[in-house]
């Protein structure tokens, strides 16, 4: 099982055809470059980097390939947004909006699973989180171009909602992946219901104008709570993934697929960093990192 070769999502040209078509349509229709200036795009990029940093920190033992991460962000930004806009134009309400958006975002997660890109619960948080980030970025663009003050809109949404879709989809994706890996569809359905419920509660509270003004409770709910929950989930999943690598790694060592020393490099980030630092060239360090991530991925797929 450990020798199985898997071509990650985003590695083939065909992975990008549908995304490219959706991107062309939504960008042509919205034309954000006609309204937004370069400083607006830079500001949006800087704000979005907070989510990227957290997800990047979380995904350490078997980091997803860069093109898979870009694919996930692009799926959320274009196909998920495009399909959501179509269906929401037919029948929109607070309930249907949350259901439609989570459906098309998490469809990308299922596609990644079908391509054998998901080996652990952490993969659910990472890919689901990046899909959610892509959706949030393009949603922020749409809000910005319809606002009279683009800069203020980007900053407000950057503070209070940039983590929102990563929170909805990433947390629900953990449960969805648990169901997919254990072949229990009903658990995956619970995961989807969790994503939908979190999204619905978020939208409902906002629509009811529960907060009269931006006060401490508002800041805690919309600016602090989502990244805090994502971080707590990430810490738990990192511990779980390390334990999973240790258990499955022993089987790989016993079966002769990997050596004990190699396993130690895979499951110990401290040993890995020390070993990589001793390599003479940057290319060798990069190659070893990628190799260790790939080997960790194979171990977890056993």
pLDDT in tens, the chain (302 residues): 444 556 889 999 999 999 999 999 999 999 999 999 999 999 999 999 999 999 999 999 999 999 999 999 999 999 999 999 999 988 778 899 999 999 999 999 999 999 988 999 999 999 999 999 999 999 999 999 999 999 999 999 999 899 999 999 999 999 999 999 999 999 999 999 999 999 999 988 887 776 656 678 888 888 999 999 999 999 999 999 999 999 999 999 999 889 999 999 999 999 999 999 999 899 999 999 999 999 999 899 88
Whether the model clears a pTM of 0.85, i.e. scores above it, the answer is: yes
Write the CB contacts of 271 (distance below 8 Å, at least 6 apart in sequence): 264, 265
pLDDT for res 216: 81
pLDDT value, residue 185: 94
Is the dihedral angle over the CA atoms 247, 299, 63, 114 positive or is it negative? negative
Q: How many residues does the chain have?
A: 302
Per the CB < 8 A criterion, the answer to whether 206 and 221 are in contact is: no
pLDDT of residue 257: 87
For 238, other C-beta atoms within 10 Å of its C-beta total 18
Q: Convert the chain into a string of H (helix), E (strand) and C (coil).
A: CCCCCCCCCCCCHHHHHHHHHHHHHHHHHHCHHHCCCHHHHHHHHHHHHHHHHHHHHHCCCCCCCHHHHHHHHHHHHCHHHHHHHHHHHHCCCHHHHHHHHHHHHHHHHHHHHHCCCCCCHHHHHHHHHHHHHHHHHHHHHHHHHCCCCHHHHHHHHHHHCCCHHHHHHHHHHHHHHHHHHCCCHHHHHHHHHHHHHHHHHHHHHHHCCCCCCCCHHHHHHHHHHHHHHHHHHHHHHHHHHHHHHHHHHHHHHHCCCCCHHHHHHHHCHHHHHHHHHCCCCHHHHHHHHHHHHHHHHHHHCC
Whether 200 contacts 181, CB under 8 Å: no
């Amino acid at each position: 099982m450990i020798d199985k070769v898997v071509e990650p999502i985003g590695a083939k040209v065909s992975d990008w055809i549908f995304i490219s078509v959706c991107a062309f349509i939504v960008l042509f229709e919205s034309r954000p470059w006609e309204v937004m200036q370069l400083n607006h795009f830079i500001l949006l990029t800087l704000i979005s980097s907070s989510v990227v940093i957290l997800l990047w920190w979380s995904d350490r033992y078997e980091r997803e390939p860069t093109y898979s991460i870009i694919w996930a962000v692009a799926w959320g930004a274009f196909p998920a947004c495009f399909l959501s806009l179509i269906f929401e134009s037919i029948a929109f309400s607070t309930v249907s909006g949350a259901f439609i958006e989570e459906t098309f975002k998490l469809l990308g997660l299922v596609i990644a699973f079908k391509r054998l890109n998901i080996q652990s619960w952490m993969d659910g948080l990472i890919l689901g989180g990046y899909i959610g980030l892509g959706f949030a970025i393009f949603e922020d663009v749409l809000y910005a171009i319809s606002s009279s003050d683009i800069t203020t809109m980007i900053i407000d949404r950057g503070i209070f909602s940039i983590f929102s879709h990563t929170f909805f989809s990433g947390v629900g994706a953990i449960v969805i992946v648990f169901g997919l890996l254990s072949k229990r569809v009903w658990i995956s359905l619970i995961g989807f219901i969790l994503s939908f419920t979190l999204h619905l509660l978020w939208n409902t509270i906002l629509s009811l104008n529960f907060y009269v003004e931006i006060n401490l409770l508002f800041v805690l709910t919309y600016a602090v709570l989502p990244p805090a929950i994502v971080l707590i989930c990430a810490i738990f999943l990192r511990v779980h993934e390390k334990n999973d690598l240790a258990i499955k790694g022993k089987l790989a060592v016993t079966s002769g697929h990997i050596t004990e020393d190699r396993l130690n490099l895979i499951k110990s980030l401290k040993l890995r960093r020390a070993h990589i630092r001793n390599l003479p060239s940057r290319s060798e360090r990069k190659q070893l990192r990628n190799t260790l991530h790939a080997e960790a991925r194979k171990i977890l797929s056993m």
